[in-house]
Amino acid sequence: MFDIVLLCLISFYSFIILSFTCGLFINKEKRVNIQPFVSIIIAALNEQDHIEKILYDVTHQTYPSEKYEILVIDDESSDNTSNLVIELSKKYQNVKLLNAKYGDPSLNYKKRPLDLGIRNASGEIILQTDADCRVKKYWIETMVSYFSDNVGMVIGHSQINKNQSLSQQIEALDFLMLSATGRSTAQFGIPFAATGQNLSFRKKTFFQVNGFSEFADALGGDDTFLLQSIRNKTDWDIVVALDKNSFAQTVPSLTGQSFISQRRRWASDSLYFKNTNPLFFIVITTTFLANMIIIISLGKVFIFSEPFQFLINILIIKFIIEGLLMIKATSVFNCATLRKAFLPWFFLQIPYIVYMGIVTLMPKNSRWGGRHTI
């Protein structure tokens, strides 16, 4: 009976992963030639080591400088972040500094500075990235080109750079697989997720769904929850930016602890999707159960001396299915060098996914930017 359940779970899981792989073969997009006023929103918490780099990138764009502004919202940093922004604002007139302490007190975590920036934005298009990201000089014009009349949100891609060590390559591959899922589902017209490292939406669309108010207390919500609100409550289309000039890059986690803390924050609000996107919740649950039952099966092999062969066959199926997704994802995002990290990633992600699934049921006491960690 147990083997039948395991086989059914792996079969359904394989169907899901194959669907994601198929979605990466879809390249539909519609581009327009427009130049609306754009507001770039960057929330920063103790980012003195990164803020100058991202501000250099966004002040050296091919988009007309008079057509965009850059709002940096300092979330009460304890380092030199604010002073660095002030100095740069003297050089670039479209750079402005806001302080999150003047934001909406009902909003928790990163949503408060982002909401403050959006409410003070002059642009009809909001373009969001993180302080530790880097973008190309064509970033603004490329992201804006996806805003045809019926588009309310554009999901941008972000990937981890500086992948020297094996641990960084594993992290980068893990992030890439998540991004591939987001791109694939968006191409099917059922977007699951987005990243605040590279996200754009109409300002009026944000207010149409009452901003972040419906998930003010959630640990996350500034990207994927907002996406789900727009998808469920409006008629706006949500599209994904396919052009490589729209891609952003971010840095790897400094330590294993910071990586786990980040992923726990991402996983902590998964139960939210039970109501907002049941299909996404089914995928999350199936992924958790498929990996959980493999762990249980492995335990049975060692504790009850059951034969290895059935478990090995299941792992081979899982390896092939996930390998196909990995090969297509690394090809689409031009990250073939990450393929060598697939084997260790494959085995590490089984207990990792089970752990993250259990975390969703635990109290949420983490905050963004390392101010508090789980």
Domain architecture of the chain: domains with CATH: 30-163+193-251 (3.90.550.10)
Nearest Cα to Cα of residue 160 among 257, 21, 262, 67: 262
Asked whether the predicted pLDDT for residue 13 surpasses 60, the reply is: yes
Q: For 231-290, give the DSSP string.
A: HHH---EEEE---GGG-EEEPPPSSHHHHHHHHHHHHTTGGGHHHH-HHHHHHHHHHHHH
Compute the average pLDDT of residues 38-50.
96
d(CA 214, CA 128): 20
| Residue 149 exposure: Cα atoms within 13 Å on the Cβ side | 0
Confidence class for position 199, pLDDT limits 50, 70, 90: very high
pTM confidence score: 0.91
Q: Which residues is 96 bridged to in the sheet?
A: 71
Range 240-246 average pLDDT: 96
Of residues 364 and 236, the one with the higher pLDDT is 236
Distance, in Å, from the CA atom of 29 to the CA atom of 240, rounded to the nearest integer, reads 8
pLDDT band for position 180 (50/70/90)? very high
- For 43, 44, 226, 251, 330, the CA distances from 131, given in Å and listed in that order, are 7, 6, 20, 10, 25
List alpha helices for 46-93, DSSP H. 51-59, 81-91
Most confidently modeled range among 140-154, 217-231, 269-283: 140-154
**What is the pLDDT at residue 32?**
97
For residue 38, pLDDT beyond 80: yes
Assign 17 a pLDDT band (cuts: 50, 70, 90).
very high
- What was the pLDDT predicted at 179? 94
Write the DSSP symbol of residue 188: T
Is the confidence at residue 370, as pLDDT, over 60? no
pLDDT-wise least confident of 50-54, 265-269, 338-342: 265-269
The predicted model gives 301-327 an average pLDDT of 90
Distances (CA, A) of 172 to 165, 188, 291: 11, 24, 21
pLDDT for residue 229 is more than 90: yes
Lowest mean pLDDT among 93-97, 129-133, 276-280, 287-291: 276-280
d(CA 167, CA 362): 26
pLDDT above 80 for 363:
no
Determine the pLDDT at residue 270.
Answer: 75
Please classify residue 17 by burial: count the beta carbons closer than 10 Å to its beta carbon, then call 0-12 exposed, 13-18 middle and 19+ buried: buried
In which residue are the tokens 């920063």 written? 44
Q: How confident is the model at residue 294 (pLDDT cuts 50, 70, 90)?
A: very high
- What is the average pLDDT score of the chain? 90
pLDDT for residue 254: 74
Place of tokens 């960690």: 373
pLDDT at 374 over 60: no
Question: To the nearest 5 percent, what fractions of the chain are helix, strand and coil?
Answer: 55, 10, 35
* Cβ contacts of 26 within 8 Å, gap of 6 or more: 184, 187, 188
- Any residues with CB less than 8 A from the CB of 31 and at least 6 apart, and which? 145, 146, 148
Is residue 40 predicted with pLDDT exceeding 80? yes
For 322-341, give one letter per residue: b (16+ CB within 10 A) or e: bbbbbebbbebbebeebbeb
pLDDT band at residue 163, thresholds of 50, 70 and 90?
low
| Phi and psi angles of residue 34, each rounded to the nearest 5 degrees, phi first | -135, 160
pLDDT at residue 366 tops 60:
no
Locate 342 and state its tokens. Answer: 């697939």
